[in-house]
Each structure stands twice: as structure tokens, then as C-alpha cells.
Amino acid sequence: MKTAVRVAVIAFAVAVNGGDFYAIHVAMGEGTERARLATVEPQVIVVAAPKDGPVLASREFYYP
């Protein structure tokens, strides 16, 4: 009886520790993914305009 209780307690402790290690593993994986995404350079944005100049910017708008 004493041995069975000890084995059950050890099995429970191993299961709890395994769950803790898995939770730490997932948290570290999420932290690594966030760090990797933070270092990704943004895409280049190119703004093109016609060569004759901006038509809307040359008009004068009056607000009452």
C-alpha cells in the first residue's frame, strides 16, 4: 500500500512537471515568434504621381 501511494504521487508529480514544461515551451515559442516578427522590415511603399504635377494640390479651396 505504501509503495502504491508513492508511485501514484511520483506519477502525479511527473505529469504536473510535464505540463509545466509544455506551458513554458509554448510561451517561449510565442516570444520567439513575436521577436521574429518585430525584426521584419516593412514592405517598401512607392508613391507615384503624374509628371505634369499634382492637379488637386494646385487648386485653391476656400472654406466659409
64: in domain:
no
pTM reported for the whole predicted model: 0.44
| 54 within domain boundaries | yes
Q: Is residue 15 part of a domain?
A: yes
Q: What is the domain count for the chain?
A: 1
The pLDDT, as a whole number, for residue 24 is: 86
The low-confidence residues of the chain, meaning pLDDT below 50, are none
Q: 45 lies in which domain range?
A: 2-58
- Predicted local confidence at residue 19, as pLDDT: 87
Q: What is the pLDDT of residue 13?
A: 93
Domain membership flag for residue 63: no
Residue 21 is predicted with a pLDDT of 87
Q: Which of 9, 28, 31 is nearest to 20 (CA)?
A: 28
Q: Please give the pLDDT value at position 29.
A: 83
